[in-house]
Amino acid sequence: MSASRTTVAAGAPAAPRSAPLPERAGVGLRHRHVPDFLTGRPAAAWLEVHSENYLVEGGPRTAQLERIRADYPLSCHGVGLSLGSAEGLDAGHLARLRALYDRFEPGLVSDHLSWSVAAGTYAADLLPLPMTEEALAVVARNLDHAQAALGRRLAVENPSCYLSFAASTIPEAEFLAELVRRTGCALLLDVNNLYVCQRNLGLDPAAWLDAVPGEAVAEIHLAGHARIEVEGRELLIDDHGSRVIEPVWQLYQETLRRFGPRPTLIEWDTALPPLEVLLGEAERAQEFLDACDIGLPAVARGTAREALHAG
């Protein structure tokens, strides 16, 4: 393991509280890797945690995050707001999130364009929405409520897609752009999700990138995915369990070409490898960010434009 991946230089300044995330590559902080961050200072530019894993007032997990937070900028990524629920948001959940964010002062908070609660029943999944005017009004209302309750701008992540609704009347990117216009929210652009939707449903990533407001993109996610066969057809599943594949890197390069450098996360949640592997993926993302920042030629194998129309 190279020293550049394992430690930050001694005497490096602590991360300022509430500062925006740096436009560099970070990694998700998962339980398996917490000891690495407690016993050393691995060279990650910033860290992201799942908000719902820390909705407790005390205990060792929270104490560990306090220690790690002193050294790293932090992003909190939620999975439980259920922004698409017509019945509105859970006030208790919002209050717990507010307490968490006030305590740790993350540089960014986010959740998903999805729903998971109906008639008081919680489904432990990020379920899809029809892209309709009615759904847009629901999500916008919930976003306004969430941002007021949390006292922060919320970034909304584009979903991975496995089906489309016949009732949908608004292209996804236009739906997100209108949410930004109505609520002032930010966007979390998951490049792997964009690629998954391209392969599963034929979404045009070039048109998608053209339609979203680049200035609203506050964070980018990169991840791996799985391939399964359903009724003789290949389906990509956003499982966050492997390295980023080359077409996704190429699509990431095209995203940076259009929007400029953004804080970028290596997201890995299943089949979790040693931390060195995540840091290696972050190093590659950082190469793209550095090249974008100073206007160097493309560093991806192949071309970014090939990824936009790959079959």
Q: Taking a C-beta distance cutoff of 8 angstroms, is the pair 116, 153 a contact? A: no
Residues contacting residue 11 through CB under 8 Å, at least 6 positions apart:
none
pLDDT above 90 covers what percent of the chain? Answer: 68
pLDDT of residue 300: 43
Dmax over CA atoms of the chain, in Å, equals: 57
Strand intervals (E) in the chain: 25-28, 47-50, 74-77, 108-112, 115-118, 121-127, 154-157, 186-190, 217-222, 226-230, 233-237, 264-266
pLDDT of residue 16: 55
Calpha distance 265→75 (Å, rounded): 10
CATH number (domain holding residue 237): 3.20.20.150
In a domain, 187, yes or no: yes
pLDDT of 264 higher than 90: yes
In a domain, 90, yes or no: yes
User: What are 158-198's pLDDT values in tens digits?
Assistant: 988 777 888 989 999 999 999 999 999 999 999 999 998 88
In a domain, 240, yes or no: yes
User: What are 94-109's pLDDT values in tens digits?
Assistant: 999 999 999 999 999 9
| Count of structural domains, the chain | 1
Domain hosting residue 129, numbered range: 24-308
Which of the two residues, 87 and 19, has the higher pLDDT score?
87
In a domain, 15, yes or no: no
In a domain, 8, yes or no: no
pLDDT range class, residue 18, cuts 50, 70, 90 = low
Q: Taking a C-beta distance cutoff of 8 angstroms, is the pair 75, 263 a contact? A: yes
In a domain, 9, yes or no: no
Which of the two residues, 104 and 119, has the higher pLDDT score?
104
Q: Taking a C-beta distance cutoff of 8 angstroms, is the pair 220, 184 a contact? A: no
Calpha distance 176→185 (Å, rounded): 9
In a domain, 195, yes or no: yes
Q: What pTM did the predictor assign?
A: 0.87
Q: Which of these ranges, 175-184, 224-233, 245-254, has the smallest mean pLDDT? A: 224-233
pLDDT range class, residue 302, cuts 50, 70, 90 = very low
Mean predicted confidence (pLDDT) in 198-220: 92
Mean pLDDT of the chain: 87
pLDDT of 47 higher than 90: yes
In a domain, 12, yes or no: no
